[in-house]
Structure 1
Amino acid sequence: MCAEIRMERMTSPGIGTAIEAGVTTVVVAAGAVEQHGPHLPLFMDAEHGDRLAVEIARRLGDALVAPTIRVGWSDHHMGFAGTVSLSKATFLAVCRDYCGSLAHHGFRRVCFVPSHGGNFAPLAEAQEAFNEAAGPDCSVDVYADLIEVIGTWREIAESEAGLGYRVGGHADIAETSIMMAMHDGLVREDRVECGQLTTPEEEPGLIRRVLSEGFKSVTPNGILGDARGATAEMGEKMITALADRIAAHFGA
């Protein structure tokens, strides 16, 4: 495996040599630049995608990491200042073009990893179109189990601190812990607070409301769950556990 696996940091000849040597799987994270409550920076999902993609590629073995798609489909967050959103059609067109480009260079498997909740369903629905864009010699796989992501975070928060109920899926104890693990100085700890608490049973209906009426209709401060009690140590364990499970989905 290459010492450097992030394509953006590699040279073109280096990527070509890696592909010729059998490194023909590529991991693509699909994040977002959107509000994450009063305490987290907008690039939470994009940065999380960067980290997850590298961790997953390492577990897969012969894999590289494509540039993260940093802006996703975030229309439901547009009620909050600073959010940048692609339309769903534009977002999926970008993903399709990624597939075509990567397949053209000789990659034989493209693994999409959404790190923003709003990207999960569109990516899953478009998997057939992605495979058509990639052509017959390249397969495209999408990790689309948002319930597993939230469940993984709850398990860690509960086992580490008895605070699983504070995981709601957005700007909560989980995402705050993850940001602390990645960029602790960027968390506004003086503004960490509780948002809209949910139960697993309520989540499907809440997600439908978020997508139809906007995030602000559900949580005025932009938090689903409760951000209090977050730690960098918990965040590292969440990143590790989630990378393990997503890599297992892709066959690691």
Structure 2
Amino acid sequence: MTEIQLERLAWPQVKAALADGYTTVVFACGATEQHGPHLPLLVDAEIGTRTALETARRLGKALVAPTVRVGCSDHHMAFPGTLSFRQDTFDAVVTDYCTSLARHGFRKLCIFPSHGGNVMPLAQLEPRLRETLGDSVEVVVDTDLMGLMDVWKRGVPAAGGPEGRVGGHADIAEGSILMTITPELVQEEKAEEGYMGELSREDLDRVIREGLHTVTPNGILGDGRGMSSEIGEYLVARMAERLVEVFAA
């Protein structure tokens, strides 16, 4: 199939795809939240969709369901425009996604967070999803945030970018990936340095309790400068390769 995005297919095409063995679905759980002064709110959602597409193509016989475009982002609410689900709302949305897909005959659901705030909620939801869907549906959820960060930290210099600028939010990595998707929305001249240290356990607790703005007033973790589409393409490929290893295991 040339078109693998579920929402771009007519129902007879979906039916035919299922009959042809396209019984695996990949989808991301993203966010609509602040990404510094230089990137739009859609970063996590768009990166999720792009990564899901590249992953599904590598898996083969897989379709891509629409990205969940709002996530658990309460720690970003000090920044205007951010939208956030309560965790029980997030759980209900993801569960309803999965039960809908299972009802139509999809037998393997591959889910990953493209927003760090969704990692723990997905990890907690995974066993309940398996219980709800039963043995006829395989649920695979990637919740290895450190694995993703490692791809970015290794990938940026490997693609010719500067070292030491990956911090995990609105940084050189996310900006570079977005330049491969919606470059017209990247305000490169406004990219700047954010919080550059390692977040301690105390810092993380404060972020969850009081908000990200308490450690980074501009909303950036890492440094947004030096981004390029070349770095972005390299990172997307490495991210998809990592997810294929997770989902095909």
Q: TM-score, normalised by structure 1?
A: 0.95
Is the CA contact (8 Å cut-off) linking 1:35 and 1:82 kept in structure 2?
A: yes
Is the CA contact (8 Å cut-off) linking 1:99 and 1:133 kept in structure 2?
A: no
Alpha-carbon offset, residue 160 of structure 1: 3.2
Find out whether 1:174 has 2:173 as its counterpart. Answer: yes
How far, CA to CA, are the matches of 2:16 and 2:156 in structure 1?
Answer: 42
Out of 226, 246, 249, which is 1:249 matched to?
Answer: 246
Find out whether 1:235 has 2:238 as its counterpart. Answer: no
Find out whether 1:76 has 2:58 as its counterpart. Answer: no
Alpha-carbon offset, residue 161 of structure 1: 3.8
Q: Which residue of 1 aligns with 2:13?
A: 14
Aligned residues: 249
Find out whether 1:61 has 2:60 as its counterpart. Answer: yes
Q: Which sits farther off after the overlay, 126-135 or 140-149? A: 126-135
Counterparts of 1:133-172 in structure 2, within 5 Å, are 133-161=132-160, 163-172=162-171
Find out whether 1:26 has 2:21 as its counterpart. Answer: no
How far, CA to CA, are the matches of 2:4 and 2:237 in structure 1?
Answer: 18
Greater than 4 Å deviation, 4+ residue runs? none
Alpha-carbon offset, residue 28 of structure 1: 1.3
Is the CA contact (8 Å cut-off) linking 1:7 and 1:65 kept in structure 2?
A: yes
Is the CA contact (8 Å cut-off) linking 1:97 and 1:133 kept in structure 2?
A: no
How far, CA to CA, are the matches of 2:229 and 2:203 in structure 1?
Answer: 28
Is the CA contact (8 Å cut-off) linking 1:27 and 1:112 kept in structure 2?
A: yes
How far, CA to CA, are the matches of 1:19 and 1:206 in structure 2?
Answer: 47
How far, CA to CA, are the matches of 1:158 and 1:118 in structure 2?
Answer: 26
Out of 216, 222, 225, which is 2:222 matched to?
Answer: 225
Distance 1:204 1:230, change over 3 A: farther
Q: Which residue of 2 aligns with 1:85?
A: 84
Alpha-carbon offset, residue 169 of structure 1: 0.2
Is the CA contact (8 Å cut-off) linking 1:156 and 1:238 kept in structure 2?
A: yes
How far, CA to CA, are the matches of 1:109 and 1:72 in structure 2?
Answer: 22
Is the CA contact (8 Å cut-off) linking 2:177 and 2:235 kept in structure 1?
A: yes
Is the CA contact (8 Å cut-off) linking 2:49 and 2:67 kept in structure 1?
A: yes
Identity %: 50
Q: Which residue of 2 aligns with 1:189?
A: 188
How far, CA to CA, are the matches of 1:161 and 1:204 in structure 2?
Answer: 32
How far, CA to CA, are the matches of 2:171 and 2:7 in structure 1?
Answer: 31
Q: What SS is found at the alignment partner of 1:182?
A: coil
Alpha-carbon offset, residue 207 of structure 1: 3.3
Alpha-carbon offset, residue 250 of structure 1: 0.7
How far, CA to CA, are the matches of 1:203 and 1:103 in structure 2?
Answer: 40
CA displacement, residues 19-58 of structure 1 (integer Å, 9 cap, x when unaligned): 1121111001110000000000000000001101111111
Q: Which residue of 2 aligns with 1:213?
A: 210
Is the CA contact (8 Å cut-off) linking 2:159 and 2:234 kept in structure 1?
A: no
Structure 2 spans left out of the alignment, 5+ residues? none
Distance 1:45 1:203, change over 3 A: farther
Q: What SS is found at the alignment partner of 2:140?
A: strand
Task: Please tell me the residue identity of whatever aligns with 1:180.
Answer: M
Distance 1:64 1:203, change over 3 A: farther
Task: Please tell me the residue identity of whatever aligns with 1:232.
Answer: S
Q: Which residue of 2 aligns with 1:40?
A: 39
Structure 1 spans left out of the alignment, 5+ residues? none
Q: Which sits farther off after the overlay, 61-70 or 134-143? A: 134-143
Is the CA contact (8 Å cut-off) linking 2:161 and 2:227 kept in structure 1?
A: no
How far, CA to CA, are the matches of 1:209 and 1:158 in structure 2?
Answer: 31
